[in-house]
């Protein structure tokens, strides 16, 4: 992702929300939906690749665990979850937000601002770790119960290491044996790469 | 319950939820099973009202009784809650749907006896650690992630879990 795109979006949100204008929540929802769509598209590519190796995400073992949940080899878009999406949607979101500010009177609610920030920090870190070769989530049978993936401190993936998409918190890190950066994540995510670096160091990626 | 009681009760439950997500990891198994039970019930509703394109999180009242609206006062209180504490669009929408469902019950609308209350599992889930997020074919609940399959895959005659509080409490670590 080009440096500054994500930061620009958040500066727009955090600095202007009190005076702007617009149902920016629609923009946030759109980004969330695009994330899912993008991930589904990427999952399709993953399935294609895995089918060639006679495996498939839909090959569910008796314990409910998928046969594989890994980053597709050769995917240069930054992993199959968020990086490509974030990179492509940030300029759109920024433009949409600017347009909304100019034309309407609604603002992003405090809860929506926090959610947007959490989602973006999650997607960014998750995809960066996948670029480093970390699986999206664990396919180890010990992490699965009746088709449900349970949080497991021995078997986890980039999704669990990334800031929580719900809150942006790194609260799981101590349980995963990781040490968070000294400084908290900045409101505009300008230091988000410190989280990536700390994770890579702790995971020896 | 007297008219308006269900709406008021559901609103009170939503207002009392810890939406911070801080406690979601305390209830991994019960939250996972409650989400699966919601997905199961919602799949039956979606099939019955030809709303499968809207499944899993959708407004069943829009099909059942579109004339029923959430009382203005309760709706306004919920919007205040949403604007300050609920950021995930799907969770905010589900809270609105659950409140409107309660308004339908208060209005005495006939509900097909073959279809179970769609939102009680979701309300119980909210009360056990807050909302959820969705990503890449999963519904992420904090300490557990449920796989979101297609709606027919979630059709099952047998409930996934009892909604009895004691049984739910027994599912999670002490």
For strands B144-147 and B138-140, give the pairing: antiparallel
Is B83's CB within 8 Å of A110's CB? yes
Q: How far apart are CA B76 and CA B7, in angstroms?
A: 13
Residue A132, pLDDT above cutoff 70: yes
Residue B16: both structure tokens together: 């009392």
Task: Count Cβ atoms below 10 Å from residue A200 Cβ, excluding itself.
Answer: 15
A118-127: pLDDT as tens digits? 888 888 899 8
Which pLDDT band, with edges at 50, 70 and 90, does B136 fall under? confident
Chain B neighbours among A 13-42 (CB < 8 Å)?
A: 25, 28-29, 32, 35-36, 39-40
Q: What span, in angstroms and rounded, lies between the C-alpha atoms of A62 and B87?
A: 36
Is B169 or A94 the better-scoring residue by pLDDT? B169
| pLDDT per residue as tens digits for the range A134-175 | 999 999 999 999 999 999 999 999 999 999 988 899 999 999
Q: What percent of chain A has pLDDT over 90?
A: 32
Give the model's pLDDT for residue B134. 87
B146 DSSP β-pair partners: A148, B139
Of B90, B130, B135, the CB nearest to A39: B135
Q: What pLDDT sits at residue A180? A: 96
Q: Report in angstroms the alpha-carbon separations of A83 from A57, A65, A112, A127, B61.
A: 21, 25, 21, 5, 38
- Does residue A152 belong to the interface with chain B, where contact is any CB pair within 8 Å? no
Contact A147, A139 (CB under 8 A): no
Q: Does any CB of chain B come closer than 8 Å to the CB of residue A105?
A: no
Q: pLDDT higher for B120 or A47?
A: B120
- A138 in reach of chain B (CB within 8 A): no
Q: Do B89 and A28 touch (CB under 8 A)?
A: yes
Question: What does the mean pLDDT of chain B come to?
Answer: 94
Rounded-to-integer distance, Cα B78 and Cα B92, Å: 9
| b/e per residue A86-118 (b: at least 16 CB within 10 A) | bbebbeebbebbeebbeeeeebbbebbbbbbbb
pLDDT confidence bin for B3, thresholds 50/70/90 = low
Could you give the CA distance from residue B117 to residue B132 in angstroms, rounded to a whole number? 20
Q: For the whole model, what pTM was predicted?
A: 0.78
Confidence tier at A131 by pLDDT (50, 70, 90)? confident
What is the per-residue pLDDT across A17-59, written as a single tens digit (0 to 9) for each? Answer: 444 334 444 444 444 444 444 444 443 443 333 333 222 223 3
**pLDDT at residue B47, rounded to an integer:** 97
Q: How far apart are CA A94 and CA A120, in angstroms?
A: 13
Helix (H, G, I), strand (E, B), or coil: what is residue A60? Answer: strand
Pick from A81, A148, A159: which is nearest to B144 by CB? A148
Peptide bond into A200 cis (omega under 30): no
pLDDT of residue A98: 52
CB contact under 8 A, B135 and A35: yes
d(CA A122, CA A51): 29
Q: Hey, is the C-beta of B49 within 8 angstroms of any chain A C-beta? A: no
Confidence of residue B137 (pLDDT cuts 50, 70, 90): confident
């Amino acid at each position: 992702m080009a440096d500054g795109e994500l930061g620009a979006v958040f500066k727009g949100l955090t600095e202007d929300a009190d005076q702007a204008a617009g149902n920016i929540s629609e923009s946030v929802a759109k980004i969330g939906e695009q994330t899912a769509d993008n991930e589904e598209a990427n999952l399709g590519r993953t399935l294609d690749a895995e089918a060639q190796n006679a495996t498939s995400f839909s090959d569910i073992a008796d314990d409910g665990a998928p046969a594989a949940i890994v980053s597709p080899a050769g995917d240069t878009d930054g992993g199959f979850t968020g990086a490509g999406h974030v990179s492509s949607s940030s300029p759109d979101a920024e433009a949409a937000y600017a347009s909304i500010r100019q034309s309407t009177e609604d603002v992003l609610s405090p809860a929506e601002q926090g959610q947007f920030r959490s989602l973006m920090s999650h997607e960014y870190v998750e995809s960066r770790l996948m670029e480093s070769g970390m699986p999206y989530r664990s396919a180890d049978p010990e992490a699965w119960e009746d088709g449900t993936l349970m949080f497991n401190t021995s078997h986890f993936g980039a999704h669990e290491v990334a800031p929580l998409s719900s809150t942006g918190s790194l609260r799981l890190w101590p349980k995963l044996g990781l040490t968070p950066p000294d400084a908290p994540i900045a409101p505009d995510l300008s230091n988000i790469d410190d989280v990536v670096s700390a994770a890579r160091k702790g995971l020896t990626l | 319950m007297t008219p308006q009681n269900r709406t008021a009760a559901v609103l009170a439950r939503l207002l009392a939820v810890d939406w911070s997500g801080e406690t979601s990891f305390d209830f991994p198994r019960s939250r996972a099973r409650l989400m699966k039970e919601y997905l199961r019930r919602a799949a039956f509703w979606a099939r019955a009202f030809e709303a499968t394109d809207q499944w899993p999180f959708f407004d069943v009242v829009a099909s059942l009784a579109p004339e029923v609206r959430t009382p203005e006062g309760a709706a306004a209180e919920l919007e205040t809650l949403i604007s300050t504490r609920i950021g995930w669009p799907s969770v905010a929408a589900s809270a609105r749907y659950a409140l409107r469902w309660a308004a339908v019950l208060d209005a005495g609308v006939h509900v097909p006896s073959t279809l179970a209350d769609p939102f009680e599992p979701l309300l119980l889930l909210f009360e056990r650690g807050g909302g959820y997020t969705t990503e890449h074919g999963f519904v992420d609940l904090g300490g557990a992630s449920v796989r979101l399959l297609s709606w027919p895959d979630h059709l099952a005659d047998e409930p996934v879990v009892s909604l009895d509080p004691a049984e739910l409490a027994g599912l999670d670590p002490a």
